Structure 1
Amino acid sequence: MMNTQMKSSKPYTSGSNTESSALQETPTKGYRAMVKQASLISLLASVTLIFGCGGGGGGGSSTAAPAPAASTMSELTVPDGFDYNPVEQHDLNIDISHISKNRSFVSVYSRYSERSDATFKPDYSSRLLAGSLNNGQFNSSFTAPISEENILIEIWFYDGQAPLQQVVSSSVMQVTW
């Protein structure tokens, strides 16, 4: 009877099976070592690419052209009568009383584009002036950049008809339709 107990199919193990657990951990440790090695190789390859590719060319020595000497304010000359003001004052007088005395609204734009149908499309962000006409007349003053040679004047009617549009020279501000 004692013989049968000793010939058990399972070996006797005390609380921890160190030999069995060591065999089970070995594949995990090997995998981790391979991942660390692959990471290290990737890091070294990246550093080599970043710092190893320096650009540069044939290594010829060329000197840079010397920078021009800076001018001082005392060296600048300005013609007599030069106006430093970048804007001009304009007086605008509009009269459409022979066309209509109905309620209408005027807008003046410094930038615009021409459409294919020969009308104009104003750049609404460039509006210089806006106001209501009184019995077909409008009088006002405004400032505009000197660089603007032409301006677009657009008159809208409240009855829904198409607006009146006219491009005028910024030096001529007397407008009659």
Structure 2
Amino acid sequence: MKTKLPYFALIGLLTACGGGGGDGGGSSAGSADSGSPSTTPADASTTEDDVTLRSMSDLSIADGFSFNPVMGHSLDVDISAYSTERAYVSVYGEYVENGDGSYSPNYNSRISSSSLDNGTVSLDFCVSEAQQYVLAEVWFYDGSAPIQEILDTSSMSIIQ
């Protein structure tokens, strides 16, 4: 029983402390007259009068500015002078250049793809206006190396 008494006394002291609170204790009449300004809802309403409210008609936007960060593009592929065999074209947004000058696309970044009909196809797709270049690959079903082109998104076509 003697060993339980200190535990009960310790528990009684901890609960009597009242824990934290962070402001140095309870409120008292002396702390209200500390000389520091208080923020009350009345004080907050006086600052609202100083704020100038604006409407959408007050905005000025330059001519030609677009709020849409996605741009529509069209890619025209014509390799009919090179080959009319079965082929497939893919467009990628992310790629790395290999040491031999070829490119390795990130296959998860494919933007668009389609099969070619007699060596031609036209693809329509959207990319971010920040995307300046894309990689286009034309694969042949015979297993030969693909035709790879880095295209500027401002003017896109592959003609071989």
- Report the TM-score, using the length of structure 2 for normalisation: 0.61
Q: In the alignment, what sits opposite 1:113?
A: 95
1:16-52 residue CA offsets vs partner (Å, 9 max, x unmatched): xxxxxxxxxxxxx23333444566778899x56x959
Contact 1:112/1:120 (<8 A) preserved: no
The verdict on how the C-alpha distance between 1:149 and 1:43 changes in structure 2, with shifts beyond 3 A counting, is farther
Q: 1:151 aligned to 2:129?
A: no
Q: In the alignment, what sits opposite 1:14?
A: none
Contact 1:154/1:165 (<8 A) preserved: yes
How many residue pairs match? The answer is 136
- Report the structure, 1 or 2, having the larger helix content: 1
The verdict on how the C-alpha distance between 1:168 and 1:75 changes in structure 2, with shifts beyond 3 A counting, is same
How much identity, in percent, do the aligned residues show? 32
Which of the pair has more CA radius of gyration?
Answer: 1
How far the C-alpha of 1:85 sits from its partner, in A, is: 3.9
In structure 1, distance between residues paired with 2:107 and 2:81: 28
What SS class does the counterpart of residue 30 from structure 1 fall into? coil
- One-letter amino acid of the counterpart of residue 93, structure 1: D
Question: Which of residues 79, 83, 87 is equivalent to 1:100?
Answer: 83
Q: 1:171 aligned to 2:143?
A: no
1:129-158 residue CA offsets vs partner (Å, 9 max, x unmatched): 111112322223233333322221122233
Contact 2:77/2:157 (<8 A) preserved: yes
Question: Which of residues 63, 69, 76 is equivalent to 1:80?
Answer: 63
What SS class does the counterpart of residue 85 from structure 2 fall into? coil
In structure 2, distance between residues paired with 1:121 and 1:115: 6
**What is the root-mean-square deviation in Å for CA atoms of aligned residues?**
3.6
- One-letter amino acid of the counterpart of residue 95, structure 2: S
- One-letter amino acid of the counterpart of residue 168, structure 1: L
What SS class does the counterpart of residue 142 from structure 1 fall into? strand
In structure 2, distance between residues paired with 1:147 and 1:102: 35
Contact 2:87/2:116 (<8 A) preserved: yes
In structure 2, distance between residues paired with 1:173 and 1:156: 18
1:67-103 residue CA offsets vs partner (Å, 9 max, x unmatched): x967542221112333444333322211223443332
